[in-house]
């Protein structure tokens, strides 16, 4: 269903007043422990949201929901490589993202609100990017201020639950997640993860993504199964997790935590860690974004000594994958 009649194409995205003639529909979606209220003039945005979160009746909300408003501008084409052009800015309680002429997003932490405008052509041409920029990333920012901790970590999922993978840049985290995905395990993401502050074993996807450097793509034999990506300030390759996505793929219970040690030669093996050793090794993967909404101390304390190890010898990819599968399945 299209809620807004097409208008003549023009340069840039018109101001908010231009949507006054467009009917805005609303819907509610649930995330564990929270809710998102979505308002948009275009059903394509609701279709994107339904791949991320389960619809819920309005009356089931237990607290003031996160409010997300997305105005789609019909008749405006996209631009080449919008992900490369995406720029984020932040202040104390506000975040903003933009792609000149086709996308603007403002996140107000105090009001728990997201206001966004996007060219209709971008939603058509790159729905995966549209979902990340308009819905996933802004919602993750707000969830970090409402009961979740953000972690620099990946997670793979099997019948027993999720195995969290954490390590410093270059530790092989994304490569191992991609190898697990190719072996049939589920994926919550390779770089960012949300952890409930009330229940540290409850995990949710932040931005459910999987990107690789070209050499890792070749190592795993994924040529032809990836698409161009731009993440972390450099060209990468993306495994498409969005096309067949469902909300159930975004939430899991933690089965184990693995901290990636040095990529030394030799067979992959798990090393037991004492509580203090775990705390020290956990800090190796810290990035500044983890401070959003508070630190992760409670999560670290909840995980230390409970199904948590260091993985040495991650260069032995087959051995590391066998360990992962054993913990998850």
Q: What CATH number does the domain containing 167 carry?
A: 3.40.50
Asked if the structure places residue 5 within a domain, the reply is no
- 173 and 310 inside one domain: yes
Asked if the structure places residue 167 within a domain, the reply is yes
Q: Using one digit for the tens of pLDDT, what is the confidence trace for 79-125?
A: 999 999 999 999 889 999 999 999 999 999 999 999 999 999 999 99
- pTM for this entry: 0.89
Asked if the structure places residue 235 within a domain, the reply is yes
- 135 and 185 inside one domain: no
Last residue of a domain, one of 146, 181, 207: 146
Asked if the structure places residue 288 within a domain, the reply is yes
- 176 and 132 inside one domain: no
Separation CA 81–CA 99 (nearest Å): 10
pLDDT at 1: 32
Last residue of a domain, one of 81, 114, 146: 146
| Residue numbers of the domain that contains 55 | 16-146
Phi, psi dihedral angles at 153 (to 5 degrees): -165, 160
pLDDT at 63: 62
pLDDT at 262: 77
- 135 and 158 inside one domain: no
- 192 and 254 inside one domain: yes
- 158 and 249 inside one domain: yes
Asked if the structure places residue 4 within a domain, the reply is no
Biggest alpha carbon–alpha carbon distance for the chain: 65
- 112 and 251 inside one domain: no
- 176 and 123 inside one domain: no
Separation CA 321–CA 168 (nearest Å): 19
List all residues 6 or more positions away from 227 whose beta carbon is below 8 Å from its beta carbon.
237, 238, 240
pLDDT at 226: 93
20: left (phi over 0), alpha (psi -120 to 50) or beta: alpha
Asked if the structure places residue 10 within a domain, the reply is no
Total of domains in the chain: 2
Asked if the structure places residue 11 within a domain, the reply is no
**Weakly modelled stretches of the chain, pLDDT under 70:** 1-22, 59-63
pLDDT at 60: 53
- 176 and 125 inside one domain: no
Separation CA 155–CA 173 (nearest Å): 9
Last residue of a domain, one of 96, 113, 146: 146
Question: In angstroms, what CA-CA distances link 244 with 120, 138, 162, 249?
Answer: 22, 22, 20, 10
């Amino acid at each position: 269903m299209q809620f807004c009649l097409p208008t003549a194409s023009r340069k840039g995205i018109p101001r908010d007043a231009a949507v006054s003639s467009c009917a805005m529909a609303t819907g509610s979606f649930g995330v564990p422990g929270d809710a998102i209220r979505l308002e948009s003039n275009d059903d394509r945005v609701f279709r994107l949201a339904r791949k991320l979160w389960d619809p819920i009746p309005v009356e089931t909300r237990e607290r003031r929901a996160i409010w997300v408003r997305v105005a789609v501008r019909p008749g405006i084409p996209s631009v080449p490589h919008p992900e490369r052009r995406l720029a984020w800015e932040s202040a104390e309680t506000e975040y903003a993202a933009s792609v000149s002429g086709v996308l603007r997003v403002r996140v107000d932490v105090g009001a728990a609100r997201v206001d966004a405008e996007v060219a209709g052509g971008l939603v058509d041409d790159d729905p995966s990017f549209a979902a990340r920029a308009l819905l996933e990333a802004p919602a993750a920012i707000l969830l970090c201020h409402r009961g979740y901790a953000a972690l620099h970590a990946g997670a793979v999922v099997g019948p027993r639950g999720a195995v969290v993978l954490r390590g410093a840049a270059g530790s092989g985290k994304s490569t191992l997640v991609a190898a697990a995905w190719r072996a049939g395990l589920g994926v919550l993401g390779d770089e960012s993860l949300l952890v409930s502050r009330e229940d540290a074993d409850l995990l949710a996807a932040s931005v459910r993504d999987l990107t690789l450097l070209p050499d890792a793509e070749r190592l795993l034999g994924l040529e032809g199964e990836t698409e161009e990506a731009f993440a972390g300030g450099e060209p990468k390759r993306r495994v498409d997790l969005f096309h067949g996505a469902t909300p159930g793929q975004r939430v899991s219970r933690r089965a184990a935590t693995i901290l990636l040690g040095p990529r030394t030669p030799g067979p992959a093996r798990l090393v037991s860690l004492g509580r203090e050793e775990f705390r020290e090794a956990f800090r190796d993967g810290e990035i500044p974004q983890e401070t959003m909404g508070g630190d992760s101390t409670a999560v670290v304390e909840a995980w230390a000594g409970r199904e948590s190890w260091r993985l040495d010898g991650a260069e032995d990819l087959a051995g590391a994958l066998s360990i992962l599968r054993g913990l998850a399945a």
